[in-house]
Chains A and B, each alone.
Chain A
Amino acid sequence: MHISFLIHNAYGIGGTNRTTYNLATALADQHDVEIVSVFRHRDAPVFAPDPRIRLRSLVDLRADGPDRGHGELARPARIFPRAEGRYQQYSLLTDRRIGEHLASTEADVVVATRPGLNVHLARQIRRGPLRVGQEHLTLESHSKALRLVLRGAYPDLDAFTTTTEADAGAYRARMRLPGVRVEALPNPVPAPALAPADGSARWVVAAGRLAPVKRYDLLVTAFDRVRTERPDWRLRIYGGGEQGDELRTLVDRLGLYNHVYLMGPAHPIEPEWVKGSIAAVTSRTESFGMTIVEAMRCGLPVVSTDCPHGPREIIRDGVDGRLVEPGSADSVARGLLELIDDGALRRRMAAAALRNAARFDPSRIAERYESLFLSTAPRGIRRRATLHRARVTLLGGAQAALDAGRGALRKGRPA
């Protein structure tokens, strides 16, 4: 199949980019994959794409880019919904370029990656390709005005994916989407490039934006209780953000400056996870819970609040991690101390976390996307998909024959 992703800006950072690159790379094993970025603001993307993936942009806003200062940039968008968070960045020019792209694409499947682009996909795609919309946040996180627009547009999609079952349920229950296949497909998280944690370090690790929704104040307060019982354990919080100063003040006020460290942002984060033996998530909500999966893939059991939506769909409570009461520092402290005090339990959970998180491997998530595409697609696309697979196999075989031939030649040559 020829699969085309439509994304806001594939050259920057951010969760949707990371997820899309991971998924696209896994799909590229079997399919012809391109990523079409609405915007381009720098020469090279922050996440270097797999060489098999074609990357292009529709509006080039680099300093010397051809669209810098284009007249239509200043004129408001009509297709991209006003109620969408990114509306200010969109324009008549993006309306037109996205429209031209969707009207002429030769892809079998087009996957759009945010509400505004899902609306473009529903409204402007030519007849033929499979239309797949993705929700990377949640229905609940959108304004009433945006939900109204989406309700009007999404019935024209063929399939729609959310990152959790809870959100898929919300879409099925609250949006009338007859004939649209709504499915929960979690974010892919690749296996880390380094050996998992061995469970011996006396460190709890947390990572994320220092934003109020993450409730790191709760984690720091909980750690005050942990410190009283286990002063040999310490906490590292990785990430930057608006709450840094507030958290610093809290750490000082509680006298935790020898136990709790605000580490600043870290990229990549995997080498930091493996320095700990327990991961902590204290969020008020998590639309998916990418850090939970990342930590588990690094061999850490996660103590997480049982908040909506993702954590309880990732963690099996008491098996590969611990779910605790949202908003309760006591509950967080008890969860941490349970794993701190019982080394055998901690190691058992760590092993289970490593095993269970393998279901988020990009290859496994790509397979689920593939079967979604195949079961939703009209017959023509399905036949092309089979042919493409056959061609990949054939090419693989031809390459093997060629390599064998080269080997023979080399052998025949005098040393």
Chain B
Amino acid sequence: MMTEAPGAGRERIAAPLRADCVADSAGGLTFDIGGTDDPGPAHLLLRRRDGDEIALPLTPAEGGRLRAALPSSVDLPEGRWDAYAQFAEGTPRHLTPGCNDLRSLVDRAPGETAPRIAVRIPYPTRQGTLAVRSWLRAPHAEAGELRIGEGELRVRGRMYGTGLAEDAYAEVRERGGPRSVLRADVSGSAADFGFTVPYAPLAPGIWDLWLRPAGEQGPRVRLARLLDDVADKKPVFRYPRAAVRAEHGAVEAWPYYTVDNDLSVTVSATDRPA
């Protein structure tokens, strides 16, 4: 909902500038800012929460607007980047999201051989300002359809940046604690893969899903859903809970996307006896 920024004094602070973003299907972004009236040299500043910063030149575009481009070829490390406009040496001004045209991201299908997957999704922060969420993965295991079966989760996905070897498998790794690791066989052809996670062996807790596309010797790739326009998957991509008589007692289990849009499974003990 729209609320005013806390502590925003009347007329004292320069009004935030509105930016319109357009995404291209390769992962590039264009930012358009209006209402600046010839401010002299200007930059679009992306500042990560840890202080890392990237400055992109803002150049005059049609209609007296200023434009900055963040092409897919420019690295933007993973994280949340707050967007500002900076004029000359002045204090950076927050940007507010205007009209974000992200239609080319909706069903993004990069080539399977793309050496790395770069994803940038502009989004409004809780304070109503503009930020960009970035992911950079090589290789990348994209989670697709999830199916909740009888006491199990069936995952389908697609591999980018590396092939699937004969001995490819999936890992279900317990987060924290004694860190058990379960293995699941991976089936698939070319880049498309599938595997099944049985809930019964999982102890209450959180289990992260990984892919080992080249078997034990190769990389460990976190499963994530990145190739669309939704910056925060958790509230949108939701899945039913399954009640399971597990080895550790009666539990409920369900898949979910983490704050980073990685795929995990929550297992929660229920009161009912197993």
Contacts and interface: CB of A to CB of B under 8 A. Distances in A.
A137 interface: no
Contacts of B146: 257-258
Contacts of B102: 271, 275
A44 interface: yes
Contact of A275 (B10, B99, B147, B229): B229
B236 A264 contact: yes
Contacts of B1: 265
Interface residues of B, number: 24
Contact of A267 (B2, B20, B107): B2
B236 A263 contact: yes
Interface in B224-251: 229-230, 235-240
A270 B99 contact: yes
Given A46-B2, A267-B2, A257 B99 contact: no
Contacts of B4: 42-44
| Most central of B2, B106, B148, B230 by chain A CB within 10 Å | B106
A294 to B, nearest CB: 13
Contacts, number: 51
A268 B99 contact: yes
B175 interface: no
A193 B235 contact: no
A261 B235 contact: no
Contacts of A263: 230, 236
B101 interface: yes
Given A13-B2, A46-B2, A275-B229, A257 B240 contact: yes
Contact of B10 (A43, A261, A265, A274): A43
| Overall SS of chain A's interface | loop
A174 B145 CA distance: 55
A415 interface: no
Nearest to A195: B101
Contacts of B100: 271
Given A193-B20, A270-B99, A201 B106 contact: yes
A264 B240 contact: no
A271 B99 contact: yes
A203 interface: yes
A338 B101 CA distance: 28
Interface of A: 13, 42-44, 46, 193-195, 197, 201-203, 248, 252, 257-258, 261-265, 267-268, 270-271, 274-275
11 contacts: A44-B4, A201-B106, A201-B107, A252-B239, A257-B148, A261-B237, A262-B236, A264-B236, A274-B101, A275-B106, A275-B229
Interface of B: 1-2, 4, 10, 20, 99-103, 106-107, 145-148, 229-230, 235-240
Closest 9 CB pairs of A and B: A252-B240, A258-B145, A275-B103, A194-B101, A275-B106, A193-B99, A46-B2, A274-B103, A257-B239
